[in-house]
Structure 1
């Protein structure tokens, strides 16, 4: 089936799962024309449908609850229950049971598709795998004032970036979300939030693969500063859609987000088929931007691999079994699979642009 056919079928299905924001779908279609990296981010449904055909040698790997839509920009920061600043994977919209290696291959593919890479993509992918092995040996969260302090430069915006963040928030258009979502957003604000300044908003043009899903926010003043809460529609994983699997009765989002080797975000919850979270200048997804490749460092992608391992290590497959599967895979297997997948994604991208 052509990419365009799959895209149409997926969007038809999506409209049965949530109140699709048509303007965001149009915007998403335009963004998908920009470059293969953005195209990859926006089209997890196609990956889920085709990766087994593109790389059949991956499908015999042990299956566990995996991230699914993993890529270079699926990492961010949050504050844990003790107020510590934490970095790691922060979006589990597409979590589903699948061969664990698919998370590694999708991350590696995004590295191969990043424009203007500062390092050889093959070396970066090797660093991901090295970090993954280290993470299996010692799974733990990445705390930015302890073991991973060097990551703080990505997580702590200064000067113009801080100003730009709150200026963007100030421009959020007022909107009345569905009553249940509005009530939940207001309830998620801290006690004592100034009711006179509290406003409910609609967020447009936010996200990559999630563009088109309703997204709302509550913004207010509390003890001399801004507070922000966000709600994003949560639909079943595209993996279930693509593979004809039964849709789970309960989302897998929180299962991965609150895994035993993580320092969970206490503000993160799922209610009314929406994900609610606290957002702040230092608690958000880290976007590497149009020149993502230029910002890549071996140390950074190695940390990404380690964080993925900390998620997998809490799963249903023993770490010993994951290590045994890695050991039997041929040399360069991850780069080889990523190169094949990247070539297929580029082919779909060319079809879309044509």
Structure 2
């Protein structure tokens, strides 16, 4: 049916979403290869459907800022949906209004059109089409002679020697490593956010009863870091019920596409595409606590950066096995929460 729809000239650009009653390993990848933009398992949850439609139709998710605020909003420029969601919720937990865009060009345009709304920018360093360093240079060029200098804080999953210096040379004011830690984010905000507009800390909320947040099975704790899971639970308790399901669901949806890009890059011997896709999957995996998978992605990213993809072929089976195991651990966790 998908092929027939896409063969129709008037419908070839129509986004397709597959709805299935069974979450079979490999089915998501098959759906994407068949032309579907996403897939959802039944029974369909309202929040899952909303997130899927927003991703497929490139609609910005619900933000934490009102359009009437001036000079108080944190602009988040982050292309990864799950990572973007995490940053927005951490800002919400700290009491800061925020608005997010998913690419550097949109970030620049937002500052050009609505610059007075924003107090500072959290800028992902590695994004497709235009990276955060290039975007920052363009922003500084646009500010030249205006007397304005909006603080820009780098967000990067690299954490490599020299990264901080490169960010500062590009015109950024500070640097935070991903996965983002609440204490580090709070310290950066207190340093760069206008003191006269700084929000009052939100009132603490009680943590949910232990039985509401299942613990991963013993054999999956090496795949999903318990400490990261606990951090997500605390964030869920203070900001948004159902966060765990949403974040892990977004990861399962987005990571399938990244795995396909990694394999294709290796097959095509495209070192730059391998670097970018491995970097993206590394960042997403580390954010949700899949540190073991993230480490393998980091090695593939390094291979891509070297320009020699010959050694990447041998790592793909290991990556695929670890990815499949991680996805099974996530599905098991989600099943326990159902």
* TM-score of the pair, normalised by structure 2: 0.32
Normalising by structure 1, we get a TM-score of 0.31
User: Higher RCO, 1 or 2 (CA under 8 Å, sep at least 6)?
Assistant: 1
Judging by fraction of residues, say which structure has more strand. 1
Q: Structure 1 or 2: larger helix share?
A: 2
